[in-house]
Each structure stands twice: as structure tokens, then as C-alpha cells.
Amino acid sequence: MAQTEAILDNLNFEINSSVQIGDDLYCSPVNQQLGGGNFVVSTTPQIIGEITEIKIGGTQTVVVTGIEHSAGPAENGRYCFFELEQMNSLLGGNYNNSTVHTIKHFRNNNEIYSGQIRVWNQDSVNSGTASPSGGSTKGHARYEPYSSSSTTDFKVGDVIDIDTFIGFNHSIKGLTLAQVSAIFNQSNFITFKKDSSVNSVGLKGYYALGEFINNDYNNRNELFTVGSEISISSK
């Protein structure tokens, strides 16, 4: 599968339920708003890449399990600790050690921060001393940059979530990131197209075998016709 090279985030619309990894992603810059949800696009839809990731905010979250750092009270609360399995599910293919991600931070169901955090996929270690809130299944994170963080940032039970985003690979379509960026303006109409090799009419390598059995052993039966009804599903 192609690797994620760029993402569309801060999406202010609901993603169509039929979009899936492997679909081609298109963009049409909007040059005129007509009101009532209508608009005029300036060009024919332009392909910008192949979809590699789809993340829906609110479907998977990370719960803060601890805030005690190996450096002691001076860093407690600045860092949060969590189960790696939860963060892996939240960030998926975008998740590597000591990387920066845009998240939303909730406490008691209220959003208290929206911005960047730096995430480590391992327990925090200071001079060989494991963090009290750490463990073999734990990772840790803090607000990014360090100068923007404080010891009052996190409490046990806080929840980390992400905005809905679509990840895509532009190189597979022969585009550079600069070329993709040049297509966008402040308002864009985003569309997608299915891979015709697996989402098309007619048989193209996919088939089924059927067997007809007569369970009436005492009587011979004649089969006059066989019919079928097939509906292509993007899922």
C-alpha cells in the first residue's frame, strides 16, 4: 500500500461513507459562492493523489493514565502517559517515535486545548530511571514546543482525540507536494473516484462458483433457468 505523504485536515464537512483507501482523490478550487450551499468551481476536478488513510475524529481516543515523570515534580503534569495500543489506533500509519501531531485535548468532556503535541512511542526515561507512570506498554507526550507546555497541562483521565483527516500519496500520481499545494485555494470542493479495476461492471478477475443440489431423491427435477442480482458495493 502507498505511504501517506500529505493529509487533508481541519475538515469542516462529513466524509462520505463510501470513500475508502485506494480511491483517487480530486480537488476543484471554488471561485464563487452562490449561497444556500451552492458554489461554482473554477476548473475540472484535478487529481491530487491516492487515499492512504482515513481517520474520523471521535471514533478512537487516548486516555491519560498517568502524569508522573522520571524527572520528578518539576515535570509532573507536563507529560502525559498512555497505552501504546490506544495511540497506535488513533494515529495509525502517521505514528513514529518523537513526532509531532495535531490533536484535541479534553477534560470532563470539555475541549481545553487544540494544537500540537510531541509523541514518543516508548516509556519516558531520564538518566536510566523509568517514569513512575511509565511501563512496557506505555508511551508519553507533551505540548509542542516545550516552551508552550507546563506542569498543569495534563491530569489523569484526560482524553486525546484528533480532527478528522484524509491521508494521501501524491507521488504515485506523479505530483510533487508543491504541485498539489498550487491546486488549492481558500475554498475547495473535494471529490473521489473509485479504482475501476475493482469497482466496475463486468467480471474482471472476481467470480463465484455455485452448486445446485436436488434433495428430493425420489423425483427427478429439471432446472429451467438461473437468475442473479448483483449490486456493486464500494465497501
Which of the residue ranges 97-101, 145-149, 184-188, 215-219 would you say has the lowest mean pLDDT?
A: 184-188
At 49-99, the pLDDT tens digits run 999 988 777 778 999 999 999 888 999 999 999 999 999 888 875 566 788
pLDDT per residue over 203-220, tens digit each? 444 556 778 888 887 888
Quick check: helix, strand or coil at residue 177? helix
Non-local CB neighbours of 65 within 8 Å, separated by 6+ positions: 81, 82, 83, 133, 138, 156
Instruction: Read off the pTM.
Output: 0.59
179 backbone dihedrals φ, ψ, rounded to 5°: -65, -40
- For residues 24 and 10, what is the distance between their CA atoms, to the nearest angstrom? 20
